[in-house]
Chains A and B, each alone.
Chain A
Amino acid sequence: MPEPTSKATSETTPEPTPEPIPGPTHEPAPGAALELRGVSAGYDRRAPVLHGASLTVDDGEAVGLLGPSGCGKSTLARVAALLHRPWAGTVRLAGRTAHGFRHRAPRELRTTVGVVFQQPRLAADPRLTLADLIAEPLRATGRRAEIPGRLPALAASAGLGGDLLARRPHEVSDGQLQRACLARALVLRPRLLVCDEMTAMLDASTTAALVAAVEEYRREHGAALLAVGHDRVLLERWCDRTVDFEALPPR
């Protein structure tokens, strides 16, 4: 992933840092779940992918972002999930402004977002069993003790039962692996779930099952959703509202 080598700490917007970041991530925080203001980003300064894009996802709201392949919607999703550092603009998650991206994102902010990618094979460490894969975020954030209490119910809600949890990625189908990736995205109880073409590789029945699992989690936790995709029929059925990428207000 080509990232500009400039100092990542040099923030492009001189917005005052808000008060110290509060503790638990799943505490209700004021403001929209996600607020992007004037975000410009890309991989090559001469050919930016996003020009001052703005998008708001209210708390508990489900927004579908539509656009053809290669239009930049995945880059926007990556910025929203703090996985790509924008050149300009602000990203606010649950009312708190992000000042670091990728590995510099503070944990309290990073864990408010869960991400599911398009290709589960590329998003899963082939050496981990599905159980370890799902529990990895808990391990990485020092919450190992919660694993036994959280894992079985979560795996069941994602439709993973039986001996599947003991298998490694090469022993399961794409649909089953994507279920595990969804469970992994939900394990820290994020306030915002970003699904980037989550179902593009999957058949109709698995798609419907995964969407149902996401909706069940959102009902239970009141989480917001940014679903990125090109399937208008699907996103209109799934989300409260859909936005065309081309129609994103600049600034």
Chain B
Amino acid sequence: MTAELSVRELSVRFPLRGGRAVAAVTGVSFDLAPGECLAMVGESGCGKSVLASALLGLLPGNARVGGAALLDGLDLLTAGEKELARRVRGRRIALVPQSPASHLTPVRTVRSQLEETVRELTGASGPKLRGAAGAAAERAAFPAGHLDRYPHQLSGGLAQRAATALALVGEAPLLIADEPTTGLDRDLVDRTADELRRHVDAGRGLLLITHDLAAAERIADRVAVMYAGRIVELTDAAGFFDAPGPRHPYARGLLEALPERSFTPVPGMPPELDDLPAGCAFAPRCDRATDACAAVPALAGSRSGAVACHHAYSHAPETADA
């Protein structure tokens, strides 16, 4: 089973007292095909995780959601809780969580948690259940010898695999990984990323939400850069990380902040989402800003490269500034 995710003009608002609102996500549109990995990158607090929660119907009750998110014709944003709980979560969309150590139940072994998930999702029981749980662990490369351990007895990497194994039980065609590599060391990041990539190559779609540019570079087919709740650049990963590089000034700044590049931060701080500047939200931090930036730029371009900036770097041969 494969699934194409199509998000159109998704917006999430959290109303505040006094008529103001936190604009966590604004007008986000993207497509995710089976066998494709889209990395959603951006600074902390730019709305990435809210986006993931919106797709899974896990937003708090005061959130106001607009737009559409179609998964094979089902609009995830308007589907009822019953539909989401019984047909979507775990079955059509699986979540690989941030900090697996806190996602696992601390007082039960990995085997018991896997068996519970297998029972709920497939209805297996008895000896079949035990076998299915073992197979699920194997699929995420979780060693069988550690199945009877409790979460606190696992290293960070093994806990990550246990959480991934739980996510994969339902054979969901779409994976959402929310910061799956936070706090892991470089080797483990690479291993976790490679394992996620294997599931993509097996035909699943993967929405990778991360601030870890190295992990994104390793496995993503396409990259979406989020800034202040909007996608400001959506492009092929190869041209983003290597030449010719990103076209949006913010995306450039983010890459330049890496220690292997110029290691200089983007000046200033991201705006507060309840107090966004009028026009382009990045303009106050941008050295290319002009009067034109008082109007919000639309995301324009083709599927292989779109940017939302009035003064985007051009990929015409040899620009002076590259």
Contact = CB atoms under 8 A, between A and B. Distances in A.
A1 interface: no
B13 to A, nearest CB: 18
Contacts of A173: 44-45, 270
Chain B interface SS verdict (over half): loop
A139 to B, nearest CB: 27
Nearest to B250: A205
Contact of A204 (B45, B155, B184, B213): B213
A208 B265 contact: yes
B183 A200 contact: yes
Given A69-B184, A203-B254, A208 B263 contact: yes
Interface string A173-194: 1111000000000000000000
Given A175-B45, A230-B185, A70 B155 contact: yes
Interface in B261-283: 263-266, 269-270
A237 interface: yes
B42 interface: yes
Nearest to B267: A209
Contact of B263 (A118, A203, A206, A237): A237
A174 B45 CA distance: 8
Contact of B187 (A68, A176, A211, A234): A68
Contacts of B45: 173-176
Nearest to A209: B265
B260 A233 contact: yes
Contact of B265 (A206, A237, A238): A206
B129 interface: no
B156 interface: yes
A97 interface: no
A233 B45 CA distance: 25
Most A CB contacts (10 A, CB to CB) among B183, B260, B269 go to B269
Nearest to B268: A159
Given A197-B183, A208-B263, A236-B259, 20 more contacts: A68-B185, A69-B157, A159-B269, A161-B269, A175-B43, A176-B45, A200-B182, A200-B183, A202-B211, A204-B254, A204-B257, A205-B253, A206-B265, A208-B264, A208-B265, A211-B263, A212-B264, A230-B185, A233-B259, A237-B259
26 contacts: A69-B157, A69-B188, A70-B155, A173-B270, A175-B45, A176-B269, A200-B182, A200-B183, A201-B182, A203-B44, A203-B211, A204-B213, A204-B254, A204-B257, A204-B258, A205-B257, A205-B265, A206-B44, A207-B259, A212-B264, A212-B265, A230-B185, A230-B186, A233-B260, A236-B259, A237-B263
